[in-house]
């Protein structure tokens, strides 16, 4: 409708460009970490991740094979020859200029043959292949060659391999991953069941005190869970649950309930009244109405809450720290594991970035797969 006046093309361009910039700004931080998680420790500490996206030019000092070693030196037509590749084997690196003296590292271009003392010659091709010849038998160490090489971007999965599958328990995210999963799934499903019944009663059953119960639920929505930490920890220790999965499941259930009841009630109230009344007239009990009519119809709201609760429990640090993780650290979750890595391996970005991405990956997949329900839940949960 902004186009009614019919002269907005320049403004439209400005809008497009601003959105591109905004999106780029918002993606940039995550992208940096993602790129870093595919780089080796040396690469990360020697250059910024933004450099790794482009071919880099480096000055390297390489060495030809040692002529004294068996089999390296061949006598052919009166010439002693050592052949091979300066990089060990032909890779992606491309040599532009090279030299045999540290004072003139750009004396020759790739493909040239350089004359050295005592009639020796050296030929270096752009892929690193060299041919080193001499009329006399060569001895001593391999000839040094100074090259200026352009290396294409190089990435590795080694970090993920290391973080997920290595046996090293202090860095391993595999255990923490399964612990997080163990916390998350029951803590997502159980509150849904409990809340759905309560929401149905609050939406469609008439009883004294209903309005007050709804008001209490709305009030409890905003109670900071910080208040619950000490009393509940005492309670758990008192009744023998202690620190463990049961405690954290119960805590997440309790903390998730207000939002669950609120979202589900708001949704259920909006369901068509006729269906429910017809079912009542036909003799269905409330239990049957709930399981056969309300639950299937409420699927979008159930999905919305499930995503919220999943993201919240997966990303949670505080509740897990208080109710789950004991001194042995056997039950550590990923967020806690990352915080500990930040403390102990603060400079090891290859481990940190990879660990963080392992923990981010699952919520991101859920997010992009079920965004529709997440948005719907957000709208139902906050716009009144």
Partner 1 sequence: MEAAYKGLLTIFLGVGGCLLYFYLSNQILDKVLFPAKGAMAGRNINRANMIRPWLFVFPAMAALGIYLAYPVVATFWYSLTDRSQGDAFVGLANYQQMMAEPKFWEAMRNNMLWLVIVPAASTAFGLLAAQLTDRIKWGSIAKSLIFMPMAISFVGAAVIFKLIYDTRPVDQAQIGVLNAVWLQFDGGVGSWLILRLLPGLLMLCAAAISAYVAYGLFLAIREKGGAVLRGIGIAILAFITFSFLSLALGAFTSNHAYGEPQTWLTIPGWNSFLLMVVLIWIQTGFAMVILSAALRGIPEETIEASIVDGANPFQVFFKIKMPQISGTIVVVWTTITLVVLKVFDIVFAMTNGQWETQVLANYMFDKLFRANDWGVGSASAMIIMLLVSPILVWNVYNARKEMK
142, 61 in Cβ contact below 8 A?
no
Per CB under 8 A, 276 contacts partner 1? no
Nearer to partner 1, 145 or 338 (CB): 338
Three-class SS of residue 38?
coil
Binds partner 1 by CB under 8 A, chosen from 29, 238, 272, 296:
29
Shortest distance, CB of residue 364 to partner 1, whole angstroms? 5
Longest distance between any two alpha carbons in the chain, whole Å: 110
List, as one string, the DSSP characters of 262-318.
HHHHHHHHTS-HHHHHHHHHTT--HHHIIIIIIHHHTHHHHHHHHHHHHHHHHH--H
Q: At what angle do helices 371-382 and 299-315 cross, to 10 degrees?
A: 90
Q: How far is CA 229 from CA 96, 187, 226, 242, in A?
A: 64, 17, 6, 13
Residues 53-92 that bind partner 1 (CB under 8 A): none
Residues 313-332 that bind partner 1 (CB under 8 A): 314-318, 321-322, 331
Per CB under 8 A, 306 contacts partner 1? no
Residues in contact with partner 1, shown as a per-residue x/- string from 34 to 53 under the rule CB under 8 A: --x-------xxxxxxx---
Per CB under 8 A, 247 contacts partner 1? no
Q: Which helix (H) or strand (E) holds 16?
A: helix 9-36
Per CB under 8 A, 379 contacts partner 1? yes
Binds partner 1 by CB under 8 A, chosen from 75, 222, 281, 327:
222
Binds partner 1 by CB under 8 A, chosen from 68, 178, 277, 278:
178
Residues 185-204 that bind partner 1 (CB under 8 A): 185-186, 189-190, 193-195, 197-198, 200-202
Shortest distance, CB of residue 197 to partner 1, whole angstroms? 5
Binds partner 1 by CB under 8 A, chosen from 79, 81, 107, 225:
225
Q: Give CA torsion, residues 292, 295, 299, 303, to 10 deg.
A: -150
């Amino acid at each position: 409708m902004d186009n009614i006046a019919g002269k907005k093309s320049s403004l439209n361009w400005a809008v497009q460009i601003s959105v591109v910039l905004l999106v780029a700004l918002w993606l940039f931080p995550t992208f940096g970490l993602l790129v870093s998680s595919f780089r080796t420790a040396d690469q990360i500490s020697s250059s910024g991740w933004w450099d790794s996206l482009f071919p880099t030019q480096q000055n390297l000092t390489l060495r030809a094979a040692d002529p004294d070693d068996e089999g390296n030196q061949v006598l052919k037509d009166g010439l002693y020859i050592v052949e091979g590749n300066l990089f060990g084997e032909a890779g992606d690196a491309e040599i532009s200029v090279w030299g045999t003296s540290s004072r003139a590292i750009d004396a020759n271009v790739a493909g040239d043959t350089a004359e050295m003392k005592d009639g020796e010659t050296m030929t270096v091709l752009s892929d690193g292949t060299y041919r080193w010849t001499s009329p006399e038998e060569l001895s001593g160490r391999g000839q040094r060659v100074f090259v200026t090489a352009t290396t294409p971007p190089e990435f590795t999965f080694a970090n993920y391999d290391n973080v997920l599958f290595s046996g090293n328990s202090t860095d391993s995210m595999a255990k923490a991953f399964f612990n997080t999963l163990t916390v998350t799934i029951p803590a997502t499903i159980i509150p849904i069941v409990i809340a759905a019944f309560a929401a149905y009663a609050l939406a469609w059953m008439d009883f004294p005190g209903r309005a007050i119960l709804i008001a209490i639920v709305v009030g409890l929505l905003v109670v900071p869970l910080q208040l619950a930490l000490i009393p509940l920890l005492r309670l758990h220790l008192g009744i023998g649950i202690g620190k463990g999965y049961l405690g954290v499941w119960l805590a997440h259930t309790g903390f998730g309930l207000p939002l669950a009841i609120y979202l589900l009630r708001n949704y259920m109230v909006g369901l068509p009244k006729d269906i429910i009344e017809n079912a009542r007239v036909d003799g269905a009990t409330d239990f049957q109405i709930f399981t056969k009519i309300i639950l299937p119809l409420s699927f979008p709201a159930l999905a919305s809450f499930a995503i919220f609760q999943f993201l919240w429990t997966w990303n949670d640090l505080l509740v897990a720290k208080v109710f789950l993780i004991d001194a042995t650290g056997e039950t550590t979750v990923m967020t806690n594991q990352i915080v500990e890595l930040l403390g102990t391996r603060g400079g090891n970005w290859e481990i940190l970035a990879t660990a963080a991405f392992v923990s981010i990956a699952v919520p991101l997949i859920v997010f992009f797969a079920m965004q529709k329900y997440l948005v719907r839940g957000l709208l139902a949960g906050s716009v009144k």
